[in-house]
Amino acid sequence: MKRLTFLICASILIIALVSIGYFLPSFKPSQPTANLTEELAALSSLSPNANIKTVAICNETNFCQDYKITCSDGEIVDQVPVPGALIQHPIDWKDERNMDYENLCE
């Protein structure tokens, strides 16, 4: 009986270790180097005063979405939503930031 219990436990352990070894490589963090290279190339084609920032923009129903804002010489030249970076605040939520969306690049 002890031998059978040992064999069952050893089999479960081996299956678990093999499963972990098989699935673990798929949990690698994404490699941001391609996106970073593209962003640097895009910035280099703009003026020396170009920069990129992220800003959460909220609407009248308190739904907020992060955007990647690219500025050049004080003007917005690109505005791209950040995937998955959004939130719906309660209806009584107040945005305490003093955001001037018209002058994001100044």
Residue 77 included in any domain = yes
Q: Per the domain annotation, does 28 fall within a domain?
A: no
Determine, yes or no, domain membership for 39. no
* Residue 69 covered by a domain: yes
Q: Are 86 and 57 in contact (CB under 8 A)?
A: no
The 10s digit of each residue's pLDDT in 45-97 is 666 777 888 899 888 899 999 999 888 888 888 888 998 889 999 999 998 88
What domain range is 67 assigned to?
50-91
Residue 71 lies in a domain: yes
pTM above 0.85, yes or no: no
Q: How far apart are the first and last CA of the chain?
A: 77
**What is the 3 state secondary structure string of the chain?**
CHHHHHHHHHHHHHHHHHHHHHHHHHHCCCCCHHHHHHHHHHHHCCCCCCEEEEEEEECCCCEEEEEEEEEECCEEEEEEEEEEEEEECCCCCCCCCCCCHHHCCC
